[in-house]
Amino acid sequence: MKQDIEKIIEIPEGVEVSVNEGEVIVKGNGKEAKRKFDLKNFKIEKTDNMIKVFAKKATKREGKMIGTVSSHIKNMISGIKEDFIYKLEIVNVHFPMNVKVEGDKIIIKNFLGEKIERIAKVLPKVKVEVKGNQIIVSSHEKESAGQTAANIEKATNLKGKDRRIYQDGIYIVSRAGKEI
């Protein structure tokens, strides 16, 4: 059953949004977030202080896409107001690990006594800090911060070992304000 669907997103003060042929640019607090959306069967329009994502005679699939696009735009706006912060904890039972940030990489040394360094990629516009046994990943782009945290956790992934005994690794403890 086809129906008209629309989602309205309010723009808070201090945040500037521009929409141009599917590309949404959000600016404020000296930060900028840019994303291009594929507008096949719906439209994005900006009025005075709100963004409207809508479709005429939308199918169920298009309704889902409208919800997804509006969530991405909300995340862009909330990221401009306040950074998304992921916290990771370094756990070492057997061998002490050395973790340091070098440019766009995180280098993990002496993981389970290995001589080879493990390297995790840090995406652009992401800030990473190592404080004792905690790693703090922050960015105004939620996807970039989450992917960087996942890259760090994945770098210490173990295969072929019993996780109950070998608990060493780096684990996400808190993501974007939610404790795990």
pLDDT tens digits, one per residue of 111-122: 988 899 999 999
Q: How far apart are CA 37 and CA 68, in angstroms?
A: 11
CA distances 160 to 108, 120, 134, 139, 166, Å, are: 20, 21, 26, 34, 10
pLDDT over threshold 90, residue 61: no
pLDDT over threshold 70, residue 1: no
Of 152 and 6, the one with more pLDDT: 152
pLDDT tens-digit readout, 114-164: 899 999 999 999 999 999 999 999 999 999 999 999 999 999 998 888 888
- Tell me what the pLDDT averaged over the chain comes to: 90
In the chain the domains, ranked by start, together with CATH numbers, are: 3-81 (3.90.930.12), 84-179 (3.90.930.12)
Helices (H), the chain: 60-81, 142-155
**Is this structure's pTM higher than 0.85?**
yes
pLDDT over threshold 70, residue 10: yes
Averaged over 21-32, what is the pLDDT? Answer: 89
Averaged over 73-84, what is the pLDDT? Answer: 92
